[in-house]
Amino acid sequence: MVILIDIGNTNVHIGIAENRKIVENRMFSADVKRTKDEWYLMLKGFSVDTFPEAVVISSVVPYLTNTFVSLFKGITGKEPIIIHTGMQTGMEIHAKDISYLPPDRFSNVIGAFYEYRKEIAVIDFGTATKVDIVDSKGIYLGGIVAPGIYTSYKALIENSSLLPNTSISPPKDFIAKDSQDSLKAGILLNTIGFLEATKAIIRKEIKKEFLFVATGGASHLVYYLGKSIDTIDRDLTLKGMLYLYDINRR
For the chain, the first-to-last Cα distance in angstroms comes to 17
Whether 49 is catalytic is no
Per annotation, catalytic residue among 6, 104, 135, 181 = 104
Phi-psi sector, 80: left (phi>0), alpha (psi -120 to 50), beta: beta
Q: What CA–CA distance (Å, rounded) separates 250 from 243?
A: 11
Which run of H or of E encompasses 115? Answer: helix 103-116
Please say whether the beta carbons of 1 and 52 come within 8 A: yes
Q: Which residues contact 238 (CB under 8 A, 6 or more apart)?
A: 4, 6, 13, 15, 17, 22, 25, 107, 111
- Please give the full DSSP string across 129-192, using - where no structure is assigned: EEEEEE-TTSEEEEEEEEE-HHHHHHHHHHT-TTS--------S-SS-SSHHHHHHHHHHHHHH
* Per-residue DSSP letter, 26: E
What is the H or E stretch that residue 59 is in? Answer: strand 54-59
* Residue type at position 127: T
Determine contact, residues 24/3, Cβ cutoff 8 Å.
no
Q: Active-site positions?
A: 104
